[in-house]
Structure 1
Amino acid sequence: MTDNLKLNVDAYLPLRDVVFHTLREAILKGELKPGERLMELQLASKLGVSRTPIREAIRMLEQEGLAVTIPRRGAEVARMTEKDMKDVLQIREVLDELAVRLACDNITKEEIKELEKQMLQFENSTKQGDIKKIAEADVAFHDTIYHAAGNAKLVTMLDNMREQIYRYRVEYLKDENAYPTLIQEHRKILELLDKHEKEKVIEVMKVHVEKQAKVVKQIIRDQE
């Protein structure tokens, strides 16, 4: 277990949520490795809390697919598998394509400006080297498109998929060589949405997700 694990204190959140976010970030950053055991006593001692918020946080991690409980062994960090990645990104591809299709019809000038703002924020974040900020900026860019689609049910479905997608997004964004392509794709998506070129933007979005799947698949294979 990493020696750098420290509680990210937030006075506005219940302790279980603080513990959850601390462990979640450690998993996504790779500080807690796939297959590493999440032992309640050790984590409680490390973070200076009781076992109860640790246990509750582990349940929350399981709901996101970041942890699993093995009989007679206990909880551990979930391993990424090609099958899980394929299942998640297949769904994301379909939902993202639907989102840009609807956004082409419904996006407003104000939303175009907001999308441009998020695009520039993503570009700036890639220069800072903070994976968490880069991932958050990428999420914000796509969230703007989702809301521009004007379909609340679709947004709810995408929100439900968010955390399962996030782990693969972070793995992809750890590769600095991907940034120029991502920036170019974001710019193209913005341009095509502004011009309401539906079929073209759907194709760009499809390639956008497929590239992520290809890179993450290789990362998973390298870790096996």
Structure 2
Amino acid sequence: MSGHLQPIKLDSYKPLRELVCENIRQAIIDGTFSPGERLMEIQLADEMGVSRTPVREAIRKLELEGFVVMIPRRGTYVADISIKDITEIYEIRISLDILAAGLAAERITDEELEQLNGYLIEIGQHIANNDMDKIVEVDTAFHDMLYTASRNERLRSIINNLREQMTTIRGRSMSYPGRLVETMDEHRNLVEAIAAHDVERAQYAARIHLENAEHTLMRSLSEHLPQKKA
């Protein structure tokens, strides 16, 4: 196991198991731990300066989130997301985002609409600066605001769980040539529909946005697959 985790700082209000979980999850997202790499409880505990109990609890949660796979008598390994996994996640995400967009169109506040438009401006600025990290960060905040506006915390939690499972490869879709311009147009259409409190148009805009994101990601992944020799 080649990863190196930062020691846990015990000055947070969060439970220790949650801090440990966040630390390991972020290491997987950042690529510190590679897909298929084995995670050893003892080594993880030593690196973070904690006992094995919160590490064990964190690994169980990460398995539920899809970040790791626990194989009986073999150990715990970093999950490698497959094409099938991506398809399944998007099938669920599309349905849930359509629901969230419709609820947001009914329940959003003027302040939240103003914030959404502010995020669009920010994303445009980061596109101009070619700052992909910031683009992803603000895009995440944009969608979080939509889910908040749905006024359904369980829906928001489920969507965020699914979205986290895609974090490691999400940038491939957004960085695909021409995709950022398309994303901005799709975001504007979605915000305009929600601002008009047009439920059906908001749901349609959400569907188009997620379907296009999925298709772009699939194209990007297929282009990086080894080509078969003739």
Do they superpose with TM above 0.5?
A: yes
Counterparts in 2 of 1:46 and 1:160: CA distance versus 1, 3 Å: same
- Of residues 146, 154, 157, the one that matches 2:155 is 157
2:138 aligned with 1:137, yes or no?
yes
Shift of the alpha carbon at 1:201? 3.2
Could you tell me whether the CA contact under 8 Å between 1:8 and 1:21 is conserved in 2?
Answer: no
Partner SS for 2:166:
helix
Structure-2-length-normalised TM-score: 0.79
What letter corresponds to residue 15 of structure 1 in structure 2?
L
Equivalent residue for 1:195? 196
Equivalent residue for 2:68? 67
2:52 aligned with 1:51, yes or no?
yes
Cα-Cα RMSD: 2.8
Counterparts in 2 of 1:218 and 1:21: CA distance versus 1, 3 Å: farther
Distance 1:78 1:68 in 2: 6
What letter corresponds to residue 148 of structure 1 in structure 2?
A
Structure 1 segment 93-112 matched on structure 2, within 5 A: 93-112=94-113
Equivalent residue for 1:23? 24
Equivalent residue for 1:36? 37
Shift of the alpha carbon at 1:25? 0.8
Equivalent residue for 1:114? 115
Could you tell me whether the CA contact under 8 Å between 2:17 and 2:54 is conserved in 1?
Answer: yes
The alignment of Structure 1 onto Structure 2 pairs a total of residues equal to 220
Deviates more, 1:172-181 or 1:157-166: 172-181
Distance 2:69 2:157 in 1: 22
Counterparts in 2 of 1:156 and 1:25: CA distance versus 1, 3 Å: same
What letter corresponds to residue 72 of structure 2 in structure 1?
P
What letter corresponds to residue 184 of structure 1 in structure 2?
D
Distance 2:58 2:218 in 1: 28
Structure-1-length-normalised TM-score: 0.81
Could you tell me whether the CA contact under 8 Å between 2:20 and 2:58 is conserved in 1?
Answer: yes
Equivalent residue for 1:176? 175
Shift of the alpha carbon at 1:74? 0.6
Equivalent residue for 2:6? 6
> What residue ranges of structure 2 are gaps of 5+ in the alignment?
none
Structure 1 segment 77-96 matched on structure 2, within 5 A: 77-96=78-97
Deviates more, 1:41-50 or 1:83-92: 41-50
Shift of the alpha carbon at 1:47? 2.8
Partner SS for 1:68:
strand
Counterparts in 2 of 1:208 and 1:7: CA distance versus 1, 3 Å: farther
Identity of aligned residues (%): 35
Shift of the alpha carbon at 1:91? 1.5
1:155-198 deviations in whole A, cap 9, x for unaligned?
Answer: 41231231222231452225434433323322232223223444
Equivalent residue for 1:166? 164
1:2-45 deviations in whole A, cap 9, x for unaligned?
Answer: 45532363621333222211110111122211111111122223
